[in-house]
Amino acid sequence: MPSSRFRAGLGRPSAAPAEIAWFAFHGDDLLVRAPGDGGDRFDLPIAADLADLGVSVTRAQPLGELDGRACRSAELAQGAPAPAGYAYVSLRRLHGRIDPELFEIAGTAYQVQHWDKAHQYCAACGAALETGQDERVKRCVRCASNYFPRITPATIVLVEDGPRVLMTRQARFPAGMYGLVAGFVEPGETLETCVAREVHEETGVDVADIVYFGSQPWPFPHQIMVGFTARYAGGELRVDTRELEDARWFHRDALPLLPPPLSIARKLIEAWLARPAR
């Protein structure tokens, strides 16, 4: 859900703001103010310039306003230590330990700084790119090529068969954890076609009654996950070991370790569990 406290925008004030809320990344980790006074919540650095905290900014982009204060994404110089009282923390570790609205904006900021870093020169002619003033775009003044932030769509699906759910495991998952079938949309596909193809390719299962569930930005680094439910329609379970370590059916009363609460996979599973067994 969009933050009620956040107004996205590219406004560049004529005078430098007295204070800026910084979503500043050191690699994949966000610079945050460490909890104090026995608390467990991180917060953002607030400063007119991160140099005031002894931090060097490689490049920055405006994001808009947060609580009436300008906010920006930033890429920090590699190897720079975090200032005293601050830490570099990954977005995954920050979930539940920072204000939920700040967490959502941090995902946007990560994608913006990733795009900014990756688009410094034109892929067509090699000229330096300029940042657009009226929209989020990098423009080549030599050949007029435009580079908008890249958003990569992927589908994820909960396949049910009565009281059973189809779950998959990748080697990189924590021990014992299973997730749901997911994959990137290919050229010319609808989202529903992608769902059916990915399920069949990875598990040999056919599905029917594909129904949209919801979507979630997934800034690792620039996906949007589009969630669906589907019903088992046949096929013998076989695991594509090039993609998966394992796939199996689990009864709703005997589920494995589930994906983390921040993921749409977890939301799909919890919504399924909340429905009466069919």
Instruction: Quote the pTM value.
Output: 0.85
pLDDT digits (tens, 9 = 90+) for 109-143: 999 999 999 999 999 999 999 999 889 999 999 99
4 — pLDDT class (breaks 50, 70, 90) = confident
On whether the CB atoms of residues 255 and 183 are closer than 8 A, the answer is no
d(CA 179, CA 56): 39
End-to-end CA distance of the chain: 31
What is the β-pairing status of strands 152-161 and 223-234? parallel
Rounded to a whole number of angstroms, the CA Rg of the chain reads 22
d(CA 71, CA 68): 9
The secondary structure of 239-263 as a DSSP string is --TTT-SEEEEEETTS--BPPPTTS
pLDDT digits (tens, 9 = 90+) for 30-70: 999 988 766 778 999 999 999 999 999 999 999 999 998 99
14 — pLDDT class (breaks 50, 70, 90) = low
Average pLDDT over every residue of 139-158: 97
On whether the CB atoms of residues 170 and 241 are closer than 8 A, the answer is no
User: Domains of the chain (ranges plus CATH)?
Assistant: 6-117 (3.90.79.10), 119-149 (no CATH), 152-274 (3.90.79.10)
Nearest in space to 140 (alpha carbons), one of 165, 123, 158: 123
80 — pLDDT class (breaks 50, 70, 90) = confident
Least confident range from 93-102, 163-172, 181-190, 245-254: namely 93-102
